[in-house]
Protein backbone atom coordinates (compact mmCIF):
# COMPACT_ATOMS: atom_id res chain seq x y z
CA UNK A 1 0.00 0.00 0.00
CA UNK A 2 2.83 2.35 0.89
CA UNK A 3 4.59 1.62 -2.42
CA UNK A 4 1.36 2.25 -4.32
CA UNK A 5 0.95 5.60 -2.56
CA UNK A 6 4.52 6.63 -3.36
CA UNK A 7 4.02 5.62 -7.00
CA UNK A 8 0.86 7.74 -7.20
CA UNK A 9 2.71 10.74 -5.72
CA UNK A 10 5.54 10.34 -8.23
CA UNK A 11 3.12 10.13 -11.16
CA UNK A 12 1.25 13.21 -9.96
CA UNK A 13 4.53 15.12 -9.66
CA UNK A 14 5.53 14.10 -13.18
CA UNK A 15 2.18 15.25 -14.56
CA UNK A 16 2.52 18.61 -12.75
CA UNK A 17 6.02 19.19 -14.13
CA UNK A 18 4.86 18.15 -17.60
CA UNK A 19 2.00 20.66 -17.46
CA UNK A 20 4.37 23.42 -16.38
CA UNK A 21 6.75 22.61 -19.26
CA UNK A 22 4.13 22.98 -21.99
CA UNK A 23 4.58 25.89 -24.43
CA UNK A 24 2.11 28.74 -24.09
CA UNK A 25 1.05 31.50 -26.47
CA UNK A 26 0.57 35.14 -25.46
CA UNK A 27 -1.29 38.04 -27.03
CA UNK A 28 0.10 41.38 -25.85
CA UNK A 29 -0.71 45.05 -26.25
CA UNK A 30 1.48 47.90 -25.06
CA UNK A 31 1.87 51.64 -24.91
CA UNK A 32 5.11 53.52 -24.51
CA UNK A 33 7.53 55.97 -25.99
CA UNK A 34 10.06 55.83 -28.77
CA UNK A 35 12.93 58.04 -29.81
CA UNK A 36 16.33 58.21 -31.42
CA UNK A 37 19.87 58.03 -30.07
CA UNK A 38 23.12 59.40 -31.45
CA UNK A 39 24.47 62.77 -32.56
CA UNK A 40 21.94 62.97 -35.39
CA UNK A 41 19.11 62.71 -32.85
CA UNK A 42 19.81 66.15 -31.33
CA UNK A 43 16.68 68.28 -31.20
CA UNK A 44 14.31 65.32 -31.46
CA UNK A 45 11.75 64.39 -28.80
CA UNK A 46 10.13 61.09 -27.91
CA UNK A 47 6.72 60.06 -29.24
CA UNK A 48 4.06 57.99 -27.47
CA UNK A 49 3.32 54.92 -29.58
CA UNK A 50 1.42 51.61 -29.47
CA UNK A 51 2.54 48.03 -29.93
CA UNK A 52 0.60 44.80 -30.45
CA UNK A 53 1.85 41.28 -30.97
CA UNK A 54 1.88 37.58 -30.23
CA UNK A 55 4.64 35.49 -28.71
CA UNK A 56 5.34 31.99 -27.47
CA UNK A 57 6.92 30.84 -24.24
CA UNK A 58 8.77 27.57 -24.83
CA UNK A 59 10.16 26.10 -21.58
CA UNK A 60 13.68 24.70 -21.71
CA UNK A 61 13.77 23.70 -18.04
CA UNK A 62 12.28 24.89 -14.75
CA UNK A 63 14.17 28.20 -14.92
CA UNK A 64 14.69 29.15 -18.54
CA UNK A 65 12.53 29.46 -21.64
CA UNK A 66 12.77 30.71 -25.21
CA UNK A 67 10.31 33.44 -26.25
CA UNK A 68 10.05 34.16 -30.00
CA UNK A 69 7.36 36.53 -31.21
CA UNK A 70 5.97 38.82 -33.89
CA UNK A 71 4.88 42.39 -33.14
CA UNK A 72 3.63 45.43 -34.98
CA UNK A 73 5.53 48.33 -33.42
CA UNK A 74 5.15 52.05 -34.04
CA UNK A 75 8.27 54.17 -33.51
CA UNK A 76 9.45 57.66 -34.35
CA UNK A 77 10.09 61.17 -33.03
CA UNK A 78 8.81 64.72 -33.11
CA UNK A 79 10.73 67.97 -33.31
CA UNK A 80 10.16 71.72 -33.19
CA UNK A 81 12.43 73.66 -35.54
CA UNK A 82 12.85 77.42 -35.67
CA UNK A 83 14.91 79.03 -38.43
CA UNK A 84 14.97 82.64 -39.65
CA UNK A 85 11.74 83.41 -37.83
CA UNK A 86 9.90 80.42 -39.30
CA UNK A 87 8.62 77.75 -36.91
CA UNK A 88 7.95 74.21 -38.08
CA UNK A 89 6.65 71.11 -36.32
CA UNK A 90 7.97 67.79 -37.58
CA UNK A 91 6.59 64.37 -36.71
CA UNK A 92 8.22 61.21 -38.07
CA UNK A 93 6.36 57.92 -37.74
CA UNK A 94 7.96 54.53 -38.45
CA UNK A 95 5.93 51.30 -38.33
CA UNK A 96 7.70 47.95 -38.17
CA UNK A 97 7.03 44.24 -38.09
CA UNK A 98 9.42 43.14 -35.38
CA UNK A 99 10.61 39.65 -34.42
CA UNK A 100 12.07 39.38 -30.90
CA UNK A 101 14.08 36.28 -29.98
CA UNK A 102 14.26 36.44 -26.21
CA UNK A 103 15.85 34.22 -23.58
CA UNK A 104 13.73 34.31 -20.41
CA UNK A 105 14.71 33.57 -16.81
CA UNK A 106 11.79 32.64 -14.52
CA UNK A 107 12.02 33.14 -10.76
CA UNK A 108 9.21 32.09 -8.44
CA UNK A 109 8.14 35.13 -6.41
CA UNK A 110 4.91 33.97 -4.73
CA UNK A 111 2.35 31.23 -5.22
CA UNK A 112 0.49 33.59 -7.57
CA UNK A 113 3.16 34.81 -9.99
CA UNK A 114 6.72 34.50 -11.26
CA UNK A 115 9.25 37.22 -11.97
CA UNK A 116 10.49 36.94 -15.54
CA UNK A 117 13.57 38.67 -16.93
CA UNK A 118 14.20 38.65 -20.68
CA UNK A 119 17.07 39.59 -22.96
CA UNK A 120 17.96 38.92 -26.55
CA UNK A 121 18.14 40.23 -30.11
CA UNK A 122 15.40 41.47 -32.38
CA UNK A 123 15.11 42.05 -36.10
CA UNK A 124 12.57 44.37 -37.72
CA UNK A 125 11.39 45.48 -41.14
CA UNK A 126 9.82 48.88 -41.76
CA UNK A 127 6.46 48.43 -43.48
CA UNK A 128 5.06 51.96 -43.59
CA UNK A 129 5.22 55.35 -41.94
CA UNK A 130 4.41 59.00 -42.44
CA UNK A 131 6.51 62.12 -42.02
CA UNK A 132 4.55 65.33 -41.56
CA UNK A 133 5.87 68.89 -41.48
CA UNK A 134 3.70 71.82 -40.40
CA UNK A 135 5.06 75.24 -41.38
CA UNK A 136 2.78 78.07 -40.32
CA UNK A 137 -0.54 77.22 -42.04
CA UNK A 138 0.96 74.80 -44.56
CA UNK A 139 1.30 71.03 -44.08
CA UNK A 140 3.49 68.70 -46.12
CA UNK A 141 3.72 64.93 -45.75
CA UNK A 142 5.38 61.93 -47.38
CA UNK A 143 6.16 58.28 -46.70
CA UNK A 144 8.99 57.85 -44.20
CA UNK A 145 10.63 54.87 -45.91
CA UNK A 146 10.50 56.38 -49.40
CA UNK A 147 12.19 59.40 -50.96
CA UNK A 148 10.10 62.57 -50.76
CA UNK A 149 10.00 65.43 -53.23
CA UNK A 150 8.22 68.74 -53.64
CA UNK A 151 7.75 70.14 -57.13
CA UNK A 152 10.17 67.59 -58.54
CA UNK A 153 12.91 68.50 -56.04
CA UNK A 154 13.92 65.73 -53.65
CA UNK A 155 13.79 66.96 -50.06
CA UNK A 156 13.83 63.65 -48.19
CA UNK A 157 15.90 60.46 -48.36
CA UNK A 158 13.79 57.45 -47.40
CA UNK A 159 14.82 55.63 -44.22
CA UNK A 160 16.38 52.18 -44.32
CA UNK A 161 13.71 49.56 -43.70
CA UNK A 162 15.87 46.99 -41.91
CA UNK A 163 16.52 47.38 -38.19
CA UNK A 164 18.05 45.11 -35.57
CA UNK A 165 19.08 45.50 -31.97
CA UNK A 166 18.93 44.26 -28.40
CA UNK A 167 15.89 43.98 -26.17
CA UNK A 168 15.58 43.62 -22.39
CA UNK A 169 12.55 43.33 -20.15
CA UNK A 170 10.99 42.37 -16.83
CA UNK A 171 7.49 41.08 -16.15
CA UNK A 172 5.09 39.61 -13.60
CA UNK A 173 3.88 36.27 -14.95
CA UNK A 174 0.48 35.17 -13.60
CA UNK A 175 -1.29 31.89 -14.51
CA UNK A 176 -3.41 33.42 -17.29
CA UNK A 177 -1.94 36.86 -17.97
CA UNK A 178 1.27 38.87 -17.81
CA UNK A 179 2.26 42.51 -17.26
CA UNK A 180 5.67 44.01 -17.79
CA UNK A 181 8.01 46.62 -19.16
CA UNK A 182 10.64 46.22 -21.84
CA UNK A 183 13.02 48.29 -23.92
CA UNK A 184 14.67 47.95 -27.32
CA UNK A 185 17.94 49.54 -28.39
CA UNK A 186 18.57 49.64 -32.14
CA UNK A 187 22.02 48.95 -33.55
CA UNK A 188 21.30 50.00 -37.15
CA UNK A 189 21.33 53.59 -38.37
CA UNK A 190 18.15 54.85 -39.99
CA UNK A 191 20.20 56.39 -42.79
CA UNK A 192 23.88 57.06 -43.46
CA UNK A 193 25.42 58.69 -40.36
CA UNK A 194 21.88 58.87 -38.94
CA UNK A 195 20.39 58.07 -35.53
CA UNK A 196 19.28 54.73 -34.11
CA UNK A 197 15.93 53.70 -32.67
CA UNK A 198 15.09 53.08 -29.05
CA UNK A 199 11.78 52.41 -27.33
CA UNK A 200 10.28 51.68 -23.91
CA UNK A 201 6.90 49.94 -23.59
CA UNK A 202 4.54 48.97 -20.78
CA UNK A 203 2.50 45.96 -21.84
CA UNK A 204 -0.17 43.52 -20.72
CA UNK A 205 -0.92 40.15 -22.23
CA UNK A 206 -3.31 37.23 -22.11
CA UNK A 207 -1.98 33.66 -22.21
CA UNK A 208 -3.74 30.90 -24.12
Q: Which CATH number goes with the domain that contains 173?
A: 2.40.160.20
Distance CA 23, CA 59 (A): 6
Give the model confidence (pLDDT) of 164-192 as tens digits: 999 999 999 999 999 999 999 999 999 99
Query: Which value, in Å, is the radius of gyration of the alpha carbons in the chain?
Result: 23
What's the total number of domains in the chain? 1
Tell me if 97 is assigned to some domain.
yes
What predicted TM-score, i.e. pTM, was given to this entire model? 0.84
Say if residue 14's pLDDT is above 70.
no
Q: Do residues 183 and 168 make contact, with C-beta atoms less than 8 angstroms apart?
A: yes
Tell me if 101 is assigned to some domain.
yes
Four-point Cα dihedral 181, 168, 145, 28, nearest 10: -40
Tell me if 16 is assigned to some domain.
no
Give the model confidence (pLDDT) of 134-172 as tens digits: 987 788 889 999 987 766 777 788 999 999 999 999 999
Per the document, the length of the chain is 208
Tell me if 10 is assigned to some domain.
no
Tell me if 117 is assigned to some domain.
yes
Question: β-pairing, 153-156 with 138-143?
Answer: unpaired
Residue 18 pLDDT: 41
Say if residue 15's pLDDT is above 60.
no
Q: Do residues 90 and 102 make contact, with C-beta atoms less than 8 angstroms apart?
A: no
Query: Mean pLDDT throughout 17-36?
Result: 85
Query: Mean pLDDT throughout 29-50?
Result: 95
Provide the β-strand partners of residue 122: 100, 165
Domain extent at residue 181 = 24-207
12-21, 33-42, 60-69, 86-95: segment of lowest average pLDDT: 12-21
Tell me if 3 is assigned to some domain.
no
Tell me if 185 is assigned to some domain.
yes
Which residues, 6 or more positions from 28, have their beta carbon under 8 angstroms from its beta carbon?
Answer: 51, 52, 53, 54, 55, 71, 178, 203, 204, 205
Tell me if 74 is assigned to some domain.
yes
Amino acid sequence: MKKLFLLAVCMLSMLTVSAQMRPTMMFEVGIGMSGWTGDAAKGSNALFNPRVGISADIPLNAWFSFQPGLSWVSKGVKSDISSQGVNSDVQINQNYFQVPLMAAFHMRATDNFDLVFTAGPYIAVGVNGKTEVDVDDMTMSWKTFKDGDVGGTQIWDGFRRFDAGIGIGAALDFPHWIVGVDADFGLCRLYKDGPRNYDLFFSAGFKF
